[in-house]
Amino acid sequence: MSDTYFEFGTAADRWDRAQMFFEAKEYMSAARILEGLVEEVPDQVSARLLLARTYYHSARLGRAEAELRVILERDPVEPYARLMLGRTLERQGRGRGAEASGHLRMAAAFSGDFGPNRSGRG
């Protein structure tokens, strides 16, 4: 049998296993499972988001950014992906300019969070 523990079982089994590893902060193991799931079902946003989070938490920021950009290419108004991309760019030191802050502002707008003054007046 050529299946490893990471590839074993149905997609649902592997999703559950990836979430278990993520919650245990075993990000490399979670990523290994999620990479296979994303390859198998590339349009599944939840798997890509969790994969991006595993990359972020394991300091593989370039990979996190790439996954988040794929998600946003397909769904430009996905608020959590916008937020994560902004935070990923900040963590890479690209947060001072418009690149990270633009994504963070868009995430706030998509989620209805307009800051402490919600009336819209300055």
Residue 71 to residue 9: CA distance in whole angstroms: 26
What is the separation, in whole angstroms, between the first and last Cα of the chain? 65
% of the chain residues with pLDDT over 70: 84
Three-state SS at 105: helix
CB 107 within 8 A of CB 86: yes
Q: What is the pLDDT of residues 23-66, one digit of tens each?
A: 999 999 999 999 999 999 999 999 999 999 999 999 999 999 99
| pTM listed for this prediction | 0.82
